[in-house]
């Protein structure tokens, strides 16, 4: 049973200014199944809607963001919980669904000790006295490579990498089924990034969680994910296993993304994508990539390519044959 299923999900930012309504279609008609025990990567340029998708998954939707259409549900222990069912979701928040935000500086309350932050997040879920809880948290943090002193520190006394470890500890202490990560390694240096990635992978192996990882960093995806969903301008354009994405990308956008990465021997010619991603309040008609796509043909400009299945993978492009071969 899939952990999360999204069907034709549309979530828009609806702003009203002097009576004129501006709609930004950040997530537009997205269908996606998230399987148990997998690490699913969501990749794409800035502003493609990947963070919005994660906000929806973590049920932290605030106006002006609104789910306009579509069906979305979690499946935990054989029960289905629809998105927006706040009462039921609150029960699962943090115990079943945890969220690791960007590795930025401001995720932990600056005037609260780490110990109290832990208590705030765990108090509804554990029923043991504070002393015992503190002991267990210390043990757990030590497993993640943090000293016992951390518990009595304020966030500003910790380095960026330590803070991210604390956040990972906070998110995984209850062994949640689903962990949502939003760019967990941005703002950290490469060595720390590597440690954090290894830590996440180790935890996933031990606890068997499902992880959804949003990042624009394809190297990170190659390192850790099992499957990748590529987003462009609010739409999913390709979903396939990580190996398939890197070995044989089907969608032109995926191919261009991969070609923009240097190889280890440095012999490949780097190509990029010209132009800017479209403004999501006024996306182009037809395939949203067509103004930038080097392989564009007439119907791309007017017709929208549907997401088609080719064996165990899907992609949305007219220029892929029914047999799953690129025709460009």
Is 185 a binding residue for other proteins by CB under 8 A? The answer is no
Report the residue from 98, 151, 162, 212 that binds other proteins according to the rule CB under 8 A: 98
Is 107 a binding residue for other proteins by CB under 8 A? The answer is yes
Place of tokens 């935890």: 203
Tokens found for residue 205: 């192996």
Of 80 and 120, CB closest to other proteins? 120
Minimum distance, C-beta of residue 91 to other proteins, in the bound complex (Å): 9
Determine whether 252 is exposed, middle or buried from the number of CB atoms within 10 Å of its CB (0-12, 13-18, 19+).
buried
Report the residue from 94, 173, 253, 318 that binds other proteins according to the rule CB under 8 A: 94
Q: Which of residues 226-265 bind other proteins (CB under 8 A)?
A: none
Of 154 and 246, CB closest to other proteins? 154
Minimum distance, C-beta of residue 279 to other proteins, in the bound complex (Å): 23
Q: Cα dist. 77→36, 51, 73, 193, 257 in Å?
A: 11, 27, 13, 33, 38
Is 213 a binding residue for other proteins by CB under 8 A? The answer is no
Measure the CA–CA gap between 56 and 212, rounded to whole angstroms: 12
Of 127 and 322, CB closest to other proteins? 127
Minimum distance, C-beta of residue 81 to other proteins, in the bound complex (Å): 14
* CB neighbours of residue 93 within 10 Å: 18
Residues 163-182: x where in contact with other proteins by CB under 8 A, - otherwise, as a string: ----x--x------------
* CB neighbours of residue 8 within 10 Å: 12
Is 58 a binding residue for other proteins by CB under 8 A? The answer is yes
Of 115 and 248, CB closest to other proteins? 115
Report the residue from 60, 276, 281, 309 that binds other proteins according to the rule CB under 8 A: 60
* CB neighbours of residue 12 within 10 Å: 22
Is 327 a binding residue for other proteins by CB under 8 A? The answer is no
Of 35 and 106, CB closest to other proteins? 106
In 3D, which of 111, 182, 195 has the Cα closest to residue 145? 195
Q: Which of residues 113-132 bind other proteins (CB under 8 A)?
A: 116, 120-121, 123-124
Measure the CA–CA gap between 294 and 273, rounded to whole angstroms: 9
Is 73 a binding residue for other proteins by CB under 8 A? The answer is no
Q: In sequence order, what are the residues at sequence separation of 6 or more whose Cβ sits closer than 8 angstroms to the Cβ of residue 160? A: 103, 105, 187, 188, 192
Is 158 a binding residue for other proteins by CB under 8 A? The answer is no
- Half-sphere exposure of 253 toward its Cβ, with a 13 Å CA cutoff? 27
Q: Cα dist. 224→79, 91, 200, 268 in Å?
A: 29, 29, 9, 23
Is 17 a binding residue for other proteins by CB under 8 A? The answer is no
Is 111 a binding residue for other proteins by CB under 8 A? The answer is yes
């Amino acid at each position: 049973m899939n952990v999360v299923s999204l069907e034709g999900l549309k979530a828009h930012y609806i702003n009203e200014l002097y009576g004129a309504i501006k709609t930004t279609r950040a997530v537009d008609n997205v269908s996606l199944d998230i399987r148990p025990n997998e690490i699913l990567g969501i990749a794409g340029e800035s502003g493609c809607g990947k963070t919005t998708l994660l906000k929806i998954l973590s049920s932290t939707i605030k106006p002006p963001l609104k789910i306009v259409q579509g069906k979305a549900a979690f499946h935990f222990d054989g029960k289905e919980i629809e998105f927006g069912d706040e009462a039921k979701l609150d029960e699962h928040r943090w115990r079943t669904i945890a969220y690791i935000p960007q590795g930025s500086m401001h995720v932990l309350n600056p005037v609260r000790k780490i110990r109290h932050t832990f208590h705030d997040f765990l108090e509804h879920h554990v029923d043991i006295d504070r002393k015992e809880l503190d002991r267990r948290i210390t043990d757990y943090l030590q497993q993640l490579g943090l000293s016992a002193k951390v518990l009595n520190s304020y966030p500003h006394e910790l380095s960026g990498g330590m803070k991210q470890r604390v956040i990972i500890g906070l998110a995984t202490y209850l062994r949640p089924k689903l962990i949502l990560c939003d760019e967990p390694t941005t703002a950290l240096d490469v060595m720390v990034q590597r440690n954090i990635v290894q830590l996440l992978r180790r935890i996933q192996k031990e606890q068997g969680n499902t992880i959804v990882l949003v990042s624009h960093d394809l190297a990170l995806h190659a390192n850790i994910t099992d499957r990748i969903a590529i987003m462009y301008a609010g739409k999913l354009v390709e979903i396939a296993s990580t190996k398939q994405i890197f070995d044989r990308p089907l969608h032109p956008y995926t191919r261009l993304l991969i070609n923009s990465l240097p190889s280890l021997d440095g012999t490949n010619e780097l190509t990029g994508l010209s132009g800017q991603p479209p403004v999501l309040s006024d996306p182009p008609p037809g395939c949203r990539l067509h103004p930038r796509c080097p392989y564009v043909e007439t119907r791309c400009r007017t017709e929208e390519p549907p997401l088609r299945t080719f064996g165990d993978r899907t992609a949305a492009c007219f220029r892929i044959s029914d047999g799953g071969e690129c025709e460009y």
